[in-house]
């Protein structure tokens, strides 16, 4: 008996009970569909984290001033005025693993342009920051070292601020915005980066030269860097070394004794991003295993129906045996029926899963990623489910005694 013949017999048997076959298959459809849709969501989340990771900038470390301490009450990290501009220059000069370093001075402020206003974050910095943070220009230009040296009143503005102040129609480059009563010329707009991993809008930002910031927005004691520093190393492998070298350098510069605590802190953002990537991996795994459970439940449904089918067709089995079917033929017939059922379920489930995943993405604005390897795996797994849960009913059928089977009422 050929393989094709066996499959045809199985298909015919299944088509004799179309409604029941469909309901049986539904479990597998839902199982495979769930696996595909859930993993698509998980993979999408992973891709999103990766995108955020690259938006943040790679090989990144943050240097914060230490916390201030007043009569025993300790302030937050960054509250002390322990970093100086000379510290920043020393890091640039003396730590070879550091590629770029840029100060970031921050203030929240109301910004006005024409008849609109908007509250946003003003960052005073140097041009290195645009490279460290992977910013790209949409229109106009970044500010330069020259702008920093001359403390020009120029601003590079994020997409959200542009949209709030100028709408979508007007060309903002060359326009004037007013921050704390000081007019600034918009010289460039930034390409949108979207939200950060913790939901902050990267694009709700205005960048101005750090010198201008200190003079016009928020002053600081002479020589004090009243903000934090973004540091980029040459490679990921350089991060731990840079951390150690910067720590040594700053302790030396700040004349800290061997027992004194650091009066600054270093945060390795790349490590943080990797931890988040691990997190999404776990999330994907969790979704996939929940979905896999439903696939197993689908398999149990198949086993249930196959057992009913074997009982119902006992006479048929007896007859087939009487006219020459070997036990192996009967075993194969029921096994193929189970596998055909689950494979059909797998293929329909694949379609349903893709449709549902796509719909979820549309509905909730989730990023969705379909992996072809996973789709093939899910369909293959459904066939495995068919074999695993079809085997027991098929074995039961093949072990029937033909005389009893023929006499079965």
Greatest Cα-to-Cα distance within the chain, rounded to the nearest angstrom: 104
Q: Which is nearer to another protein, 180 or 315 (CB)?
A: 315
CB atoms within 10 A of CB 54: 12
Shortest distance, position 309 Cβ to another protein, whole Å = 13
Shortest distance, position 335 Cβ to another protein, whole Å = 16
Shortest distance, position 364 Cβ to another protein, whole Å = 47
Tokens of 127: 């041009």
Interatomic CA distance for residues 56 and 71, integer angstroms: 37
Tokens of 153: 């009143």
Interatomic CA distance for residues 30 and 349, integer angstroms: 6
Instruction: Name the nearest CA neighbour of 58 among 219, 221, 237.
Output: 237
- What secondary structure does DSSP assign to 74-127, as a single string? E--TT-S---BHHHHHHHHHH-TTEEEEEEEEEEEEEEEETTEEEEEEEEEE-T
What are the residues facing 201 on neighbouring strands? Answer: 195
- Say which residues have a Cβ less than 8 Å from residue 181's Cβ, sequence separation at least 6: none
Shortest distance, position 386 Cβ to another protein, whole Å = 23
Shortest distance, position 389 Cβ to another protein, whole Å = 25
Q: Which is nearer to another protein, 43 or 316 (CB)?
A: 316
Q: Which is nearer to another protein, 293 or 403 (CB)?
A: 403
Q: Which residues bind another protein (CB under 8 A)?
A: 1, 5, 9, 12, 16, 315-316, 318-329, 402-403, 406
Q: Which is nearer to another protein, 321 or 348 (CB)?
A: 321
Q: Which is nearer to another protein, 88 or 317 (CB)?
A: 317
Shortest distance, position 327 Cβ to another protein, whole Å = 5
Shortest distance, position 13 Cβ to another protein, whole Å = 9
Q: What are phi and psi of 105, to 5 degrees?
A: -105, 130
Interatomic CA distance for residues 76 and 55, integer angstroms: 27
Distances (CA, A) of 81 to 69, 147, 149, 257, 402: 11, 26, 23, 19, 93
Shortest distance, position 403 Cβ to another protein, whole Å = 5
CB 62 within 8 A of CB 230: yes
């Amino acid at each position: 008996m050929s393989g094709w013949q066996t499959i045809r017999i199985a298909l015919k048997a299944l088509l004799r009970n179309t409604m029941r076959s469909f309901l049986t298959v539904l479990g597998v459809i839902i199982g495979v569909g769930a696996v595909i849709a859930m993993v698509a969501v998980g993979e999408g989340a992973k891709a999103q984290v990766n995108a955020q990771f690259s938006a943040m900038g790679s090989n990144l470390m943050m240097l914060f001033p230490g916390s201030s301490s007043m009569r025993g009450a300790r302030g937050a990290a960054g509250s002390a005025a322990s970093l100086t501009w000379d510290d920043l220059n020393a890091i640039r000069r003396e730590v070879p693993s550091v590629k770029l370093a840029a100060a970031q001075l921050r203030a929240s402020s109301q910004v006005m342009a024409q008849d609109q206003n908007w509250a946003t974050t003003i960052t005073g910095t140097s041009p290195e920051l645009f490279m460290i943070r992977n910013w790209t220009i949409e229109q106009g230009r970044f500010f330069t070292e020259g702008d920093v040296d001359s403390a020009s009143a120029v601003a590079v503005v994020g997409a959200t601020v542009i949209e709030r102040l100028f709408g979508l129609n007007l060309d903002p480059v060359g326009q004037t915005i007013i921050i704390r009563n000081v007019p600034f010329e918009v010289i460039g707009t930034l390409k949108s980066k979207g939200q950060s991993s913790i939901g902050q809008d990267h694009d709700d930002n205005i960048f101005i030269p750090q010198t201008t910031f200190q003079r016009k927005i928020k002053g600081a004691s002479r020589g004090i860097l009243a903000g934090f520093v973004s540091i980029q190393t040459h490679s990921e492998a350089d991060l731990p070394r840079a951390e150690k070298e910067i720590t040594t350098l700053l302790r030396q510069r700040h004349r800290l004794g061997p027992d004194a605590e650091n009066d600054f802190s270093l945060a390795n953002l790349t490590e943080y991003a990797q931890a988040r990537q691990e997190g999404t991996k776990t999330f994907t795994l969790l979704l996939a295993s929940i979905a896999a459970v439903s696939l197993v439940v689908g398999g149990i449904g198949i086993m249930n129906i196959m057992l009913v089918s074997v009982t119902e067709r006992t006479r048929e089995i007896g007859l087939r045996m009487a006219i020459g079917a070997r036990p192996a033929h009967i075993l194969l017939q029921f096994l193929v029926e189970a596998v055909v059922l689950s494979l059909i379920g797998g293929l329909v489930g694949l379609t349903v899963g893709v449709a549902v995943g796509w719909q979820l993405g549309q509905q909730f604005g989730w990023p969705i990623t379909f992996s072809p390897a996973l789709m093939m795996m899910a369909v293959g797994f459904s066939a495995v489910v068919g074999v695993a849960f079809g085997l027991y009913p098929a074995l039961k059928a093949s072990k029937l005694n033909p005389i009893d089977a023929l006499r079965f009422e």
